[in-house]
A and B are shown apart, each in its own frame.
Chain A
Amino acid sequence: MNAVNGAGMRLLGRLPMVLWLTVMWAVLWGDASPGTLIAGFAVGAGCYVAARLPHLPVRLRFRPLWAVRLAVRILWDLLASSVQMAYFTFDRPHRVRGAIVAVPLRTDSDLLMAMVSGGLSLVTGSQTIELDREGGVIYVHGIPIRGEGDVPRLRRDVRRIEELFVRAFGSTADIADFEATEHAMHAARAAGREER
């Protein structure tokens, strides 16, 4: 990696985004002929230069098996919560209560946090309200919450979604980080339950 100079690395880092834009272009035109691809690449690169988009150091990996599990979970939850909300729409909606819970995140990657907070807005009755970047705490509004007993369930759902995102897209370092924090949290919970 040291052999490649800085400018080359920067271009290489931007390449995936330009390729993505090229794919979008080809899809919008509805054909994938070489002419369209070249034009799309030119327009994508031009947009990138004109907009002066910063280069994000994207260190992600893609694990298909976990990604499929994540997609199935999100689609299923989306459907389930839609049906649930439809039910409450007709059954005394003013009686439905929610809760805002604080869930400490176990990942410290900006990109993964953004994905988790976005993904949470899609799954069963949860919606991100605030993300405390320094503390690594996410505040999620959940609905419906019938009482205190439902709060741990919401917390568990959030943690499960976070785990799926980390395992589907996190780099090896992210996953190691995640597991280390998980162990630390587990130990802390076991050591001092009365603290919280």
Chain B
Amino acid sequence: MTATDWATAVLLPLGALFALTGTIGMVRFPTLLGRMHASTKPDTVALLLILAGAAFRLPDLRTALPLALVAVFQFMTMPVLAQTLGRVSYTRGMVVAEHLVTDELEDALEKRRAESGRTGTGPGERD
């Protein structure tokens, strides 16, 4: 086996392992936010490792460039998805208070509600 073979032999299974733990985490964590933490980060690492592993199989750097593009798009889209889901889950009241040590967003929304003087109209309203 050559050095590149070894690199692939280490990187691909390691990436697969991260993807597996991310998926198991998604099943095992009780809250939506916990699940998102468990799935987004290990999955990104897994993708990076698998792409790196795959890049070592390619003949030269030029053919490996599109793989870098995949990583770039993952980094650009993943935070948007995580943030959207996080916000929606909060608005829908799916964030369970017992799993939180503090919730300063709730405090801020309460303050905003008190200031506006009426309830049920703010855009950041929690059901």
Q: Give the interface of A toward B (CB within 8 A).
A: 24, 27-28, 30-31, 78-79, 81-82, 85-86, 88-90, 93-94, 96-102, 117-122, 125, 127-130, 132, 137, 139, 141, 143, 145, 147-148, 150-151
Contact = CB atoms under 8 A, between A and B. Distances in A.
Question: Which 3 residue pairs spanning A and B have beta carbons closest together?
Answer: A121-B79, A118-B79, A89-B25
Nearest to A121: B79
Contact of B108 (A88, A137, A141): A137
Most chain B CB within a 10 A radius of its CB, from A85, A93, A132, A137: A85
A145 B66 contact: no
B23 to A, nearest CB: 9
A132 B33 CA distance: 20
A129 B87 CA distance: 5
24 contacts: A28-B69, A30-B66, A78-B41, A81-B41, A82-B44, A86-B22, A89-B21, A94-B29, A98-B101, A117-B79, A117-B83, A119-B79, A121-B79, A127-B33, A127-B36, A127-B86, A128-B83, A128-B86, A129-B83, A130-B87, A137-B108, A143-B33, A143-B34, A148-B102
Contacts of B106: 100
Contacts of B25: 85-86, 88-89, 93
B21 A85 contact: yes
Nearest to B43: A82
Contact of B28 (A93, A129, A150): A93
Nearest to B40: A121
B111 to A, nearest CB: 11
Nearest to B29: A93
Interface in B51-80: 62-63, 65-66, 68-69, 75-76, 78-80
Interface in B16-46: 18, 21-22, 24-25, 28-31, 33-34, 36-38, 40-42, 44-45
Q: For the complex, would chain B's binding face be called helix, strand, loop or mixed by DSSP majority?
A: helix
B108 A132 contact: yes
A120 B37 CA distance: 12
A94 B75 CA distance: 28
B80 to A, nearest CB: 7
Contact of B38 (A93, A118, A147): A93
Contacts of A150: 101
